[in-house]
Amino acid sequence: MRTISERLAAWAEGEEARFLGRLEDEEPCNRWIAEYWRILGDAAGRPAYRHVDGRTTNAYGDRWAWSAAFIGAGVWAATNGAPWFAYCEWHSTYVRDGIARAGAGGHQPYRAVPVGALPLRRGDIVVQWRVGIGDGAPDRPITYERALAVDPFTSHGDIVVRAGSASADIIGGNLADRVMRRTLALDGSGRLRDTTQARGHWFALVRFAG
């Protein structure tokens, strides 16, 4: 039987394949993003999310950021609707929950560790702090150690779909308004060590049990 991590990575690859680089406001991508939000809304108990799609705008005229909805929909699919994941429109919600679970010890369905603590593995989620809300100034970055003290904060998560010693491929949503694959350079032992802070830096790795 495939693990949650394997199912999550396979789900991300499937979404990349069906989006084919198309934009969030194109059909049928707009409807697929609406499905992410429907899943997230039902899982998080937030029915208002059911009315969001790839074209929905906020009070400032900007389209809703859906990268965390992408992650939530993927986890929902990979876990067959497990209730223990912290589904939310903020990546910081599941990151903070994963850090708290790591601190609690014992068996946990998932936990978050500092991004350089472990070699990346297929099905991990790597999380990048972004300049924005929640100590968002370049000189006040969110770190793994400070994340529990700030709620919410602006961040972004991607799903690892290939991990080697020197590089890894990751897939995320709402990147240039698309589902997009990127490649990260690793340190030769499979670890991601990133200290840049111009726009944000990678600081946490979320790993599922099993």
User: 57-82: per-residue pLDDT in tens?
Assistant: 988 899 999 999 999 999 999 999 99
Question: For residue 204, what pLDDT is reported?
Answer: 96
Q: What's the mean pLDDT when you consider all of the chain?
A: 94
- Please count the structural domains in the chain: 1
Residue 188's contacts (CB-CB under 8 Å, 6 or more residues apart) are 165, 166
The tally of CA atoms less than 13 A away on the side-chain side of residue 102 is 20
Domain residue limits at 59? 4-208
Q: How confident is residue 1, by pLDDT bands cut at 50, 70 and 90?
A: confident
The model carries a pTM of 0.96
pLDDT digits (tens, 9 = 90+) for 157-200: 999 999 999 999 999 999 999 999 999 999 999 999 876 655 57
> What 3-state DSSP class applies to 122?
coil
Q: What distance in Å separates the CA atoms of residue 25 and residue 32, rounded to the nearest whole number?
A: 10
> What 3-state DSSP class applies to 179?
strand
